[in-house]
Amino acid sequence: MFLQAIQRSIVFSGTDLEKIAREHALAGGAIMNVIRYASLQALREGGRPLTVEDLLQGIRKEYAKQGKAG
């Protein structure tokens, strides 16, 4: 599901999305929140390409909201 959401929403280069998806089990709504967070971070910084770190920061925020360690 993570891969489908990313591929429909944003174009990445050089990102290991499969590894991120395997390592971080998130529900559909949380995945979309991660994508939104990462997108906004990139836009705030001049519309630069998204990075793995943007996604990981978004994942950490989602885990924190759920009370999980990330």
Task: Report residue 43 as tokens.
Answer: 């836009």
Exposed (0-12), middle (13-18) or buried (19+): which is 42, by Cβ within 10 Å? middle
Instruction: Give the pLDDT of residue 68.
Output: 79
In this predicted model, what pLDDT tens digit does every residue of 9-51 receive, in sequence order?
Answer: 455 555 577 788 889 989 989 999 999 999 899 889 888 878 8
Torsion of CA 25, 18, 41, 28, to 10 degrees: -40
Instruction: Give the pLDDT of residue 46.
Output: 87
- On the question of pLDDT at 56 being above 90, the answer is yes
Task: Report residue 58 as tokens.
Answer: 């978004």
What is the residue extent of each domain of the chain? 2-7+15-66
